[in-house]
Structure 1
Amino acid sequence: MSTRSDLGEFLRSRRARVSPREAGLPATTGRRRTSGLRREEVAMLAGVSIEYYTRLEQGKQSNPSRPVLEAVAGVLRLDDDERRHLFGLAGAPVRRAPAAPARPARAEVRAEVRRLLDIVSPHPAQVLSRANDLLAANEQGLALLPGIEEWPARARNTARYTFLHPQGRRVYDNWEEVAAATVAHLRAVAGADPDAPDVTAVIGELVVKSAEFARLWERYDVRSRTNGRKRFNHPSVGRMTLSYEVLEVARSDGHRLVVYQAEPGTPDHDAMLLLRHAGTPRTAGEPA
């Protein structure tokens, strides 16, 4: 659940990331105790008093106005995801009305969406929940995560796989990048729906069981995952780099269809095609 301390931690982490030079401040002589912006510098650039901004960071300023939040977001050079997160923490969401009381997310995947998994084959495809539960996948999509089939269907979660499965660190050649993006995505989801039981459960588990997750969680990075690249060192098909696109599934509780691809005629594409022979688990389409 979000608290005023979450807002303060987020503001402090973003303030430390912006140098005076990046903020357009003149160079100064002497030694600074911090490489980022000071509170008074953020206040000055945002056009508010140092007392006001200090109360904001300390969680003592209730109901900050939208113009103030916009000004602070500009000074801290927040991107769209971080800006939405800031508004959510401050109790001023920018995109939607306050959510209904928290309830468990639906895990059912519509038959039409399951057919899409077969339609896009041989491209690996997965249906993920808002908390990264693996709800469904085609054969290639499940084979892309070797060893995840050893877990019960309800335990299959790509964030859990990344941080806790023995194969998770080995299968991603760019594990650090994938891990950071995974945590930033969960931070964005938690900011938008802080009381969602499925989201808080997986975050709580990973904070306790994975020191790497806990360290990345404290960075307060926020990022919605829409597309990107992953480099795989797959035990069955070798190394390959695949791009992915994330599509929102209509009439669902935040389900996402993730489709991987590679340019035809490349070694990456050839390796991707071999996934169908990588030993597909028997429950490829079983819902979590």
Structure 2
Amino acid sequence: MPSDTVREDIRHFLTSRRARLTPQRAGLPDFGGRRQVSGLRRSEVAQLASISVEYYTRLERGHVGGVSEEILDSLAAALQLDDVERAHLTALVRAAHAPRRASDRDGGTSYVRDSLQQILDAMTGAAAFVRNAHLDVLATNRLARTLYTDALDTTGQPPNLARFVFCDPRARRFYRDWERIAHDAVGSLRTEAARAPGNTDLADLVDELVAHSPEFALRWDAHDVEYYRSGRQCFHHAAVGDLDLDYDALEIPADPGLTIVTYTLASAAPHADAFRRLREHGSAAAEEPTSA
């Protein structure tokens, strides 16, 4: 990612965060009348961050040389950034200072150690897979293959969850809360783009998705960021019906860029019967004889 592109990302990120805040939400007096900007004015952000308007204007234009952690903290507080957004801003500033590199494929790791596959296979009560930071699915256990049958059914290898969400009509049936999944997928890629500037594989993926999906392009331009950690995900599986599963994303320190994602469900939880039938469905499919 060239430095001028990083500056553009900083500009769009800060202006989009400024635009979402109202004076009331920021604790500033609103004297009425028509405002010429959406959200806060630059002068109001500068006031809240205790910096000059001129300095804030420079920062918003992407000129972040020499900016201190204290200034970033003040700016984050003024714009009411959450932890993920604060980390994203820091990553953008770091990227603006980094030496320019022709290519960077970090985060697009495609190699999975045998021991990781063994860990997945040992998780018989959970659906589990390994993905990289580009949302490529690199390894699965049996239950994950059963749960994600449609997403894994692709001629492109490895399967990519962002492509599935935005380019495969089956995704809207599979994810009952498609809007949130779409938001999280774009936010994850946007976070990775700041963490690994110059990543040619990721840039190619984003260009492909922008070209094929107007919805992806719109969400990408919003500059929202997300960090996929844990929560609940709502599916509709063709074989067993609705499933509300608890997910956890576990980063692998020994393999930077790789994450194990697990889906589990307590035995007494709603949809427990459907989850049991999913496990049975996966076992039955694995036992079916293959054609000679």
TM (norm. structure 1) is: 0.89
Sequence identity, in percent?
39
1:169 offset after TM fit, Å? 1.3
Given candidates 105, 123, 135, the residue that maps to 1:103 is 105
Given candidates 250, 255, 258, the residue that maps to 2:258 is 255
Residues 123/44 of structure 1: CA separation in 2 closer, same or farther (3 Å cut): same
1:220 offset after TM fit, Å? 0.8
| 1:27 match | 30
| 1:3 match | 6
Gaps of 5+ in 2: 287-292
Gaps of 5+ in 1: 283-288
Deviates more, 1:38-47 or 1:105-114: 105-114
Given candidates 130, 144, 147, the residue that maps to 2:133 is 130
How far apart in 2 are the matches of 1:80 and 1:240?
A: 30
1:195 offset after TM fit, Å? 1.8
Within-5 A mapping of 1:110-129: 110-129=113-132
How far apart in 2 are the matches of 1:153 and 1:45?
A: 49
How far apart in 1 are the matches of 2:100 and 2:139?
A: 26
Given candidates 246, 249, 258, the residue that maps to 1:246 is 249
Residues 103/129 of structure 1: CA separation in 2 closer, same or farther (3 Å cut): same
Within-5 A mapping of 1:51-200: 51-60=54-63, 62-91=65-94, 102-103=104-105, 105-152=108-155, 154-200=157-203
State the AA in 2 paired with 1:191.
A
How far apart in 2 are the matches of 1:63 and 1:21?
A: 32
1:136 offset after TM fit, Å? 0.6
1:238 offset after TM fit, Å? 0.3
State the AA in 2 paired with 1:133.
D
Q: Supply the RMSD in Å over aligned alpha carbons.
A: 2.3
TM (norm. structure 2) is: 0.88
1:278 offset after TM fit, Å? 4.2
Given candidates 210, 215, 219, the residue that maps to 2:213 is 210
1:21 counterpart SS class: helix
Identify the structure with the greater helix proportion. 2
Given candidates 250, 253, 266, the residue that maps to 2:269 is 266
How far apart in 2 are the matches of 1:121 and 1:278?
A: 13
Contact preservation (8 Å) 2:109, 2:257: no
How far apart in 1 are the matches of 2:208 and 2:185?
A: 14
| 1:223 match | 226
Residues 217/266 of structure 1: CA separation in 2 closer, same or farther (3 Å cut): same
